[in-house]
Amino acid sequence: MSFMPRSENGRSGGWSVHPTMWRICSIFCAWGVLSLTEVCAQSLLGSQRRPTFTCGGNITGDTGVVGSPGYPGVYPPNTKCVWRITVPEGKVVVLSFRFIDLESDNLCRYDYVDVYSGHVRGQRLGRFCGTFRPGALVSTGNKMLIQMVSDANTAGSGFLAVYSAAEPHERGKQNII
């Protein structure tokens, strides 16, 4: 049995749908609407359960997120925060800034984020301020240190960065999140 729409003159409209195909299409459409509803609900819930970022800490694991205190709100004045990231032995840390908004200064003298390879301020990979987002930063070993300093004056929204563990030989081939 085919479904054949009729025009005003009673003739066939030129296309037909088999009942089995109609049921399959209906099932997929219903599945799509339910999936979309679930995604929207999770998105709304996710925005209500936004992570709270604290001033510094020790972070371990293959991947993670680091943010300035209060991000995405304004970071506090007169603050020095230190995060120590450790990934599994034999791996390196790859850090990618997703957002950065710190007091701007050509020399980054007032508010800034320093990134070091290792946990003891050895090799500095960079100092960042303003809204400049550097490319991926890669440690030489399985440890990285991030230090954020703010003065008493102008503040912004801070920063948000993601890190991941990578094989040392993959340093230049990272697919950053």
Tokens 């209500």: give the residue.
48
CATH code of the region 57-171: 2.60.120.290
The whole-angstrom distance between residue 138's C-alpha and the CA centroid of its chain comes to 17
Write out the two tokens for 52.
């709270």
| Residues 45-89: tens digit of each pLDDT | 444 566 789 999 999 999 999 999 999 999 999 999 999 999 999
The count of C-alpha atoms lying within 13 angstroms of the C-alpha of 96, restricted to the half-sphere facing its C-beta, is: 15
Q: What is the dihedral of CA 37, 42, 47, 52, to 10 degrees?
A: 180
**CA–CA separation, 3 and 103 (whole Å):** 67
Q: Tell whether the model's pLDDT for residue 155 goes beyond 80.
A: yes
